[in-house]
Structure 1
Amino acid sequence: MERIMLGDVEIIRVMEWQGPFAPARAIVPGLAPEAWQAERDWLAPDHWDPAADQYVAALQTWIVRSEGRTVLVDTGVGDDRERPDTPQFHRLRSDLPARLAAAGVRPEDVDVVVNTHLHVDHVGWNTEERDGEWVPLFPRATYYVPAADRAHAERTQPLMFADSVAPVLRAGQAVLWEDTVRIDAQLTLEAAPGHTPGSSVLRLDSGGERAVFVGDILHSPVQFRAPECSSCFCEDPAAAAVTRRRILERAADTKQLVIPAHFGGAGAAEVHRDGERFAVTRWGGF
């Protein structure tokens, strides 16, 4: 397991899956192919395979230990899920619970689950199948679910909603929130719409050190150089671009470590302003 300390908060990175996902130009459709080539030296090989022109993605869950509680940020794809629209995730077998156990986290140890938004690769291990029924995997946890995504996801992603979100709602373990919600004195959830209606970020502030878990506000570090370009998965690309710039400006100005959901390699970066763009000051410690 890869881990760092920020102030009094421990962060552990647990990888579910990593590999080539799709042509780079399809992932960030507003970005010219030569823009990837211009950043080749630091995009390859962790974020882009130039020989195949493939975007390289990582799926990961973050364990955050804060104020004596265990928080999970996003829960990946899950095992044996019907995901016919995404071949890489269809009936995937990753056994993330075993990987969490290797980091010292059993399902009953988890106090809080944060779903930064309701897409298939962020909610899958919310649940497990038991006796033919989907039930919450983390029996003691409070699940923070963006209210703005609830009805939208049920309508647009019925398979995902049925196996990964509805069981948590039925169990009474979900908090449907909007705007801003404080998890504890060091962790705050904030709305960051655009990627989905309820897309959010989790801010960490402890002992003078800061980080922001940005979910899918960023898919690739190439977007540091072109923050106006949204991914093909953003449901409102214009709003996502506004949100992305706002999040990155604040991160640059306050030295927040930016922790996206899908970065491989170091997994996180500290950034600074470079005119209208952003540049990596240093890669994170994962």
Structure 2
Amino acid sequence: MTDVPALDVLLPRAPLTPVRLEPRDDEAELVDLLARARPEGRGDVMVRANMIATLDGAATGPDDVTGSINGPADLRVFRALRTVADVVLVGAGTVRQERYRGIDLPAALEETRRAHGRAEPPRLAVVTRRGDVPDELLGTDLPPLVVTVASSPRLGELRDRIGAESVLVAGDGDGDGPVDLGLALGLLGDLGLTDVLTEGGPALLAGLLQRGLVDELFLTWSPTIVGGPAPRVLAGAPWLAPPVDATLVHLLHADGVLLGRWRLHATA
């Protein structure tokens, strides 16, 4: 792992006692840091969001994907968070843009995952009102869960293709109504998928935050400025009233990249 940077723990830290998380194949120290106990009083399902932004607030680069603004430090946290997630919840637009093909972990991280009591690999769940999921993803060895609505024009096709048990109907969607995200999380919880990691996109994160459904936000600041009309990490959300307050849990650093973990205080 010669190209992978160490991570400095800036907060919290004892005075004059630097803490460094050197890269390891199993990332046991980093996973332990990220897998601490959930906040109290938040129910059975815990939702954590992992996003990245440039210094000028762009959630993607000019190519409309995150690959042009992230790097090795962000990838370390990205993989470690997946290691302790039961399910990765992603909007269909992000699945298409970022070309998701399932959730694969390196073998060493799979061992760390088992050490944290998770025998099964993390599932991918795609949120889509219309049921639009790339054929390449549906054809994988472990197809995703599809979270959709009863009025989805592809509901029957999806059930035939990946099995009715893999299609979660969260709301009726009448009048172009969206997926009921609260119901969706309940359905995932019923399957035993209680540690939910969402990787966006910005529209899905906005929907979750509007409903007070996010427990923690992991936000990476990429030391670059891109300009342009790129979306923020929230897209399409009205003003949150009142705003969602956050408490800093820790702040990591590597080569100018800052990686913050924030505990959110839901207002809904």
Report which structure shows greater RCO (CA 8 Å, sep ≥6).
Answer: 2
Normalized against structure 2, the TM-score is what? 0.36
